[in-house]
A = this chain, B = another copy of it.
């Protein structure tokens, strides 16, 4: 019960989410997700069947969504995800959102470790440093926002790589050039693949003087509500302060921080605590 999770306790303004769900929303969202899984589009009939909605109800929703430009129909009458839905969220870059949500957690991590804290995400074939908090030490690893690094040699990059869907991962690996920058550098694709397996098993990535002698990084993956890898967070410092004995501690802090960010992004893994009380207002139907 010690002051472990600052970010959580600070925000007393918002309580647990205990509001009753809205039926219409549940139904509409189920339509969205069904349509998202059906790239070829779906007929009214199929939508009604697969969502369990009444045909009339589904029709009313679909007609409304179509008029609003969220859905379009081809000439057979099949409904498809429309322009407006695709462009939603295109204005605010998603990375800005992640950055904003990560800030408080990064600050905690920075306070706990006194080392440089980085937040990164895949951007093209590289890792983009979305946000950086530099260590207060004079001797430190310096990075800056907007910086890009190869995906295969940083802990930040490896953490992303390890949890990417295999197809995407392999495509990216094909673009990697394996430079031997230090004696510890990974120079073989097969070697990297094995390393990614280890990373996935233990839950975090380590760069132990692979890119620069004397520099060490520990990174953990951040997931969003779809369960997809969204970003990664790392702690970086000189090996003199981040020796073998300290790495497990750091790794624990980093994975914890990553998990907290994932949760604020809506990621739900196996119940961290209690189940959610159903809070049914009235029992109905079969």
Residues of A in contact with B (beta carbons under 8 Å apart): 7, 10-11, 13-14, 17, 19-22, 24-26, 28-29, 32, 36-41, 59-61, 63-70, 72-77, 80-89, 91-94, 96-97, 100-101, 103-104, 224-226, 228, 230, 264-266
Cα–Cα, bound, A76→B96 (Å): 15
Q: Is the CB of A25 within 8 A of B87?
A: no
Separation in Å of the A263 CB from the closest CB of chain B? 10
**Among B13, B76, B82, B97, contact of A225 (Cβ-Cβ < 8 Å):** B82
- Beyond A29-B68, A39-B96, A81-B88, 9 additional pairs, beta carbon < 8 A: A17-B67, A69-B225, A75-B101, A75-B103, A80-B92, A81-B89, A82-B225, A84-B266, A85-B88
Q: Is the CB of B88 within 8 A of A104?
A: no
Closest to A87 in B: B226
Give how many copies assemble into the complex.
2
Q: Is the CB of B100 within 8 A of A80?
A: yes
Can you offer 23 A-B residue contacts whose CB atoms are under 8 A?
A10-B75, A17-B67, A19-B59, A19-B63, A19-B64, A20-B60, A24-B24, A29-B68, A29-B70, A39-B91, A39-B92, A69-B225, A74-B100, A74-B101, A75-B101, A81-B89, A82-B265, A82-B266, A83-B228, A83-B230, A83-B266, A85-B88, A87-B226
Q: Is the CB of A41 within 8 A of B100?
A: yes
Contacts of A76 in B (CB 8 A): 11, 13
